[in-house]
């Protein structure tokens, strides 16, 4: 495991090991504590079929809040992810609705075949909710789920979701419960930023939403990159760059109609921004939709590289791999300056 060591910069505090698991919230940003855990408790009050399951990570997926409220409906399966998902499938077959939580790396890599065979192929009503998506952990490739969206997009019957903030997580919990079938959703845990409430946002399964409009550039984004896109758009406005942001929380099925409608607007640079490897995620999904439909804007992609990433402090890594607000802003300005 390679570790990023950075010399302290003038005027900035020295980053410590705790920054490897730091909140993704900017300094002073509004946050909510454990939105998933609290939303699941609210759902379970009126839905007796809802159960919570985890593989030794209840505290680190905010499922401990559910466990405290409904101890008889909470299943701690130990450090055995294959067992977790196999048991979740069995309970779903008996009429329960399991919300199974772990880290995204363990679901997408360690237990992929068990999910594929026992949940997806059987079309079982299991909700897979996974923390530390993409580059939200500084502990290197063992904990960085940079390819999870590509893997689950390729799995038949599996809906795939990448929420932006606490506001959206609170809304998606009852929404995926109302949907009959397997779902994989990324999870932001702990102190989660609140961003979308300022835009009167309402989550809908399978729907992309225009957060803000703009004539110069369009950022199509999901997950924490929508947060970064909104921040970048506000900064770019100071330089008289008018930037639209289209949030795409449902990666599969993709809202091609809305994406095409926005991408067809003339004269705009189209940038897809995602907290995922450049291979197989939102960027390639959007590019395929555009190509198949004969829509050809000036297209660019902001994503993690196709490589094993370093370990280190998250702010350093986000700058290094181009997904910080500053890097998103800089790249868009550069691309616009070289626009033909």
Q: What is the pLDDT of residues 52-80, one digit of tens each?
A: 999 999 999 999 999 999 999 999 999 99
Is residue 28 very low, low, confident or very high in pLDDT (cuts 50, 70, 90)? confident
C-alpha to C-alpha distance for 307 and 234, rounded to whole angstroms: 31
C-alpha to C-alpha distance for 286 and 90, rounded to whole angstroms: 35
- The average pLDDT across 228-257 equals 97
Residue 18: pLDDT over 70? no
C-alpha to C-alpha distance for 317 and 10, rounded to whole angstroms: 19
Confidence (pTM): 0.94
pLDDT of residue 25: 85
Contact 40, 173 (CB under 8 A): yes
pLDDT of residue 254: 98
- Min mean pLDDT across 9-18, 196-205, 289-298 is at 9-18
pLDDT of residue 11: 56
Residue 5: pLDDT over 50? no
pLDDT of residue 198: 94
For 263-280, write each residue's pLDDT tens digit: 999 999 999 999 999 999
Residue 108: pLDDT over 50? yes
Per-residue burial over 148-181, b = 16 or more CB atoms within 10 Å of its CB, e = otherwise: bbbbbbebeebbbbbbbbbbbbbbbbbbbbeeee
Residue 1: pLDDT over 50? no
Contacts of 57 (CB under 8 A, 6+ apart): 63, 101, 102, 103, 131
pLDDT of residue 265: 97
Report the share of the chain in percent with pLDDT over 70. 93
For 165-192, write each residue's pLDDT tens digit: 999 999 999 999 999 999 999 999 999 9
Q: Strand 127-131 to strand 74-76: parallel, antiparallel, or no bridges (unpaired)?
A: unpaired
Is residue 14 very low, low, confident or very high in pLDDT (cuts 50, 70, 90)? low
């Amino acid at each position: 495991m390679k570790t990023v060591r950075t010399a302290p910069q003038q005027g900035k505090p020295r980053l410590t090991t705790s920054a490897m698991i730091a909140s993704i919230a900017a300094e002073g940003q509004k946050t909510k504590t454990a939105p998933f855990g609290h939303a699941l408790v609210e759902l379970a009050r009126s839905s007796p079929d809802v159960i919570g399951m985890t593989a030794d990570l209840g505290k680190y997926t905010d499922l401990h809040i559910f466990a405290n409220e409904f101890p008889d409906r909470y299943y701690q399966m130990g450090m055995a992810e294959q067992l977790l998902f196999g048991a979740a499938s069995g309970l779903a077959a008996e009429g329960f609705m399991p919300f199974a939580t772990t880290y995204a790396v363990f679901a997408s890599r360690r237990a992929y075949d068990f999910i594929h065979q026992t949940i997806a192929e059987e079309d079982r009503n299991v909700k897979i909710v996974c923390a530390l998506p993409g580059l939200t952990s500084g502990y290197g490739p063992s904990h960085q789920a940079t390819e999870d969206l590509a893997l689950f997009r390729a799995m038949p019957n599996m809906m795939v979701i990448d929420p932006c903030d606490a506001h959206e997580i609170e809304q998606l919990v009852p929404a995926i419960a109302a949907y009959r079938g397997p779902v994989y959703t990324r999870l932001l845990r702990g102190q989660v930023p609140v961003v979308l409430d300022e835009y009167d946002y309402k989550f809908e399964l399978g729907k992309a939403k225009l957060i803000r409009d703009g004539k110069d550039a369009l950022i199509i984004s999901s997950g924490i990159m929508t947060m970064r896109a909104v921040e970048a758009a506000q900064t770019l406005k100071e330089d008289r760059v008018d930037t639209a942001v289209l949030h795409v929380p449902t990666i599969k099925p993709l809202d091609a109609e809305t994406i095409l409608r926005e991408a067809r607007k003339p004269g705009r640079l189209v940038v897809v921004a995602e907290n995922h490897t450049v291979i197989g995620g939102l960027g390639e999904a959007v590019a395929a939709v555009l190509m198949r439909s004969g829509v050809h804007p000036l297209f660019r992609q902001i994503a993690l590289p196709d490589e094993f990433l370093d370990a280190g402090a998250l702010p350093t890594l986000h700058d290094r791999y181009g997904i910080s607000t500053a890097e998103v802003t800089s790249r868009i300005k550069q691309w616009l300056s070289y626009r033909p």
